[in-house]
Amino acid sequence: MKKWVVAIGASVVIFLVFITATIVFAFTKTKPTAEKINQKLTDKFQKIVRIPTNIVIAKYTFDNTLYIWEMTTPQNEAVPVRFTYNPDFLKTQEKTQATLEMVSGGDPSVFDKVLAAVIVDGKTLKAVQDSENADFSPNEDAGYTSYQLFLDPHTGKVVKIVWEFETENLADNDTNKLYTSLNSLPPTAVRALYEIPQVILGVLQGA
């Protein structure tokens, strides 16, 4: 009987040590590495879109990075804009898309007015201002291979822009090292380790 008690106790201790080590690894290794990758990619996308530091909403998931902020015209007309991309933490995709769009419920006319202040890439901005004569060819300086414009059916204004990148061209040597470090474990373990801090922080914030 005592042997069983000792064995169960030892198993519980080993389990607790494993759980603790996993949580510590997730917070000290996986989370910071993923955050650095996101920052590197965000810096890269600054060549096409001005992403401000005073973000109204920033949401990070394993499959998607989301930024939402508000832009205001000189006439004090305000419209929220949304920028998203997939950080592709597992490095499984050959193509990466970055999307700038008007938040649902916004005014396409106001969104059109603020695009000149949001879009950095000259080719894209020119296309937005004259969509009928848009040049959708690659831009090596900005890094994208193509882009698409989506128009509001009622006003004809651009409400969404999607740029496509070769994933391998988005990452420099430092970023590739971060990806390699993050993927030192199997994909399912990487995803689980990424989610652990999100869950714990979510519980603590809701407590």
What's the pTM?
0.90
Confidence of residue 4 (pLDDT cuts 50, 70, 90): low
Q: Give, in order, the Cα–Cα distances in Å from 64 to each of 8, 86, 88, 96.
A: 42, 5, 8, 11
pLDDT for the residue numbered 199: 85
pLDDT in tens, 24-56: 888 899 999 999 999 999 999 999 999 998 787
**Taking residues 67-93, what's their average pLDDT?**
95
pLDDT in tens, 191-206: 999 999 888 877 676 6
Q: Over 90: is that where the pLDDT of 146 sits?
A: yes
Lowest mean pLDDT segment, chosen from 52-56, 65-69, 70-74: 52-56
pLDDT in tens, 159-172: 999 999 999 889 89
pLDDT in tens, 117-132: 999 999 999 999 998 8
CB neighbour list of residue 171: distance below 8 Å, 6 or more residues apart: 40, 179
The answer to whether the beta carbons of residues 79 and 110 sit under 8 Å apart is: yes
The answer to whether the beta carbons of residues 69 and 81 sit under 8 Å apart is: yes
Give the Cα separation of 88 and 143 in Å (integer). Answer: 17
pLDDT for the residue numbered 19: 78
Percent with pLDDT over 90 in the chain: 75
pLDDT for the residue numbered 201: 73
pLDDT for the residue numbered 207: 46
pLDDT for the residue numbered 126: 96
pLDDT for the residue numbered 1: 59
pLDDT for the residue numbered 114: 97
